[in-house]
């Protein structure tokens, strides 16, 4: 009977017996993480004037590397456009995808991927020229609207316009930088994308104040890293790296104070690996959270320097604030 049960389990749960743990072992053997990022979106993932990758998404790639190797520099960045990102992940060209990707049912059900944790709560909006005096999206009836190909933007916009009995002409681009140049050249009347991206694109325009992002949010866009669904252990690694940054902010931990703050709190001591924790069960070093905090920072620090008041973009945190603040949704599951 035990043999029969084992055979049945192998038939009905093949993913539990194949692929589990392979991703992390491959990364460790290679000596660095391969992280898929955008082709260039200031604030999220871009190459600075010194030729270094910077941004919110980039920092989460580095946080994973810090957790695995105790070295945030052990990561190779692969720029991917919206159309090629899932194919590159499936082909194992990258270990994880962190590039403004919305977690939704269709993708998780049909693309053999998993979304470990939300790192940014977003929503789709529309940017127009102030001179048009447009106040609502459905006023853009018969307008030409620029969109990035391979995203959910067209479906969301089409649904919204249909509900409001309006039509639009979509104009597609492979990359956001192509889209913004065409919009500024007058090829389209508006741009529709995630609100965060619109803030970024507006900031790099020749005349940012000549444009406005309309108030309506027409969709929910929870942005998350993406991993293949054949490796539960690596899925857990990415999930708990993200949650560690949020938990660190909840406790007010940073590289200057984490040792002193932990002295009186056994939960923090376990979280930091000063006492035994469960990290080894998913292949991580016991002190992985401490490495993230000291080399990359907590969630608030990552947000502030890339997207918040210490950046050139200055996007209000709103839903991306901690759950303990009004409207905040960022919540870390208990570490024990």
Between 56-69 and 299-306, two packed helices, what is the crossing angle to 10 degrees? 140
Q: Which residue has the higher pLDDT, 57 or 152?
A: 57
Long-range contact set of residues 279-283: C-beta below 8 Å, sequence gap at least 24: 282/24, 282/233, 282/236, 282/237, 282/240, 283/21, 283/24, 283/25, 283/233, 283/237
Model confidence over 250-290: pLDDT tens digits?
999 999 999 999 888 999 999 999 999 999 999 999 999 99
* Cβ neighbours around 222 below 10 Å, total: 18
Model confidence over 205-219: pLDDT tens digits?
999 999 999 999 999
Give the pLDDT of residue 17. 37
What is the number of alpha carbons within 13 Å of residue 103 lying toward its C-beta? 16
Q: Is the pLDDT of residue 328 over 70?
A: yes
Report the alpha-carbon distance of residue 11 to residue 96 in Å, rounded.
28
Average the pLDDT over 220-243 and give the result. Answer: 97
Q: Which residue has the higher pLDDT, 286 or 18?
A: 286
Give the pLDDT of residue 150. 80
Give the contacts of 197 (CB within 8 A, at least 6 positions apart): 41, 44, 100, 176
Report the alpha-carbon distance of residue 124 to residue 249 in Å, rounded.
27
Report the alpha-carbon distance of residue 213 to residue 192 in Å, rounded.
9
Per-residue DSSP letter, 327? T
Between 232-250 and 299-306, two packed helices, what is the crossing angle to 10 degrees? 80
Give the pLDDT of residue 154. 85
CB 113 within 8 A of CB 86: yes
Give the pLDDT of residue 7. 37
Model confidence over 35-90: pLDDT tens digits?
999 999 999 999 999 999 999 999 999 999 999 999 999 999 999 998 899 999 99
Domains of the chain by start residue, with CATH: 18-121+223-320 (3.40.190.10), 124-219 (3.40.190.10)
């Amino acid at each position: 009977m035990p043999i029969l049960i084992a055979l049945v389990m192998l038939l009905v749960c093949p993913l539990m017996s194949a692929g589990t743990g392979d991703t992390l072992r491959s990364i460790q053997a290679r000596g660095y993480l391969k992280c898929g990022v955008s082709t260039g979106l200031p604030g999220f993932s871009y190459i600075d004037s010194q030729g270094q990758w910077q941004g919110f998404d980039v920092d989460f790639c580095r946080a994973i590397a810090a957790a695995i190797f105790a070295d945030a520099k052990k990561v190779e960045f692969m720029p991917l456009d919206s159309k090629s990102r899932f194919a590159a992940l499936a082909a194992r060209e990258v270990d994880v995808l962190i590039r403004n990707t919305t977690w939704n049912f269709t993708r998780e059900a049909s693309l053999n991927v998993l979304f470990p944790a939300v790192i940014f709560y977003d929503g789709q909006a529309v940017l127009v020229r102030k001179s048009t005096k447009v106040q609502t999206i459905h006023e853009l009836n018969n307008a030409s609207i620029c969109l990035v190909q391979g995203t959910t933007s067209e479906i969301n916009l089409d649904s919204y316009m249909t509900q409001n009995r309006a039509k639009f002409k979509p104009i597609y681009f492979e990359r956001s930088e192509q889209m913004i140049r065409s919009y500024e050249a007058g090829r389209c009347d508006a741009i529709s994308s995630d609100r965060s991206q619109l803030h970024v694109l507006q900031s790099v325009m020749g005349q940012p104040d000549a444009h406005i992002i309309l108030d309506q949010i027409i969709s929910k866009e929870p942005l998350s890293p993406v991993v293949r669904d054949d490796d539960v252990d690596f899925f857990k690694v990415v999930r708990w790296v993200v949650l560690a940054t949020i938990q660190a902010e909840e406790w007010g931990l940073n590289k200057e104070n984490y040792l002193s703050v932990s002295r009186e709190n056994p939960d923090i001591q376990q979280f930091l690996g000063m006492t035994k924790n469960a990290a080894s069960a998913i292949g991580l070093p016991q002190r992985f959270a401490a490495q993230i905090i000291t080399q990359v920072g907590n969630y608030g620090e990552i947000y502030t320097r890339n997207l918040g008041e210490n950046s050139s973009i200055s996007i209000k945190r709103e839903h991306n604030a901690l759950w303990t603040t009004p409207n905040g949704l960022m919540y870390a599951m208990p570490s024990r």
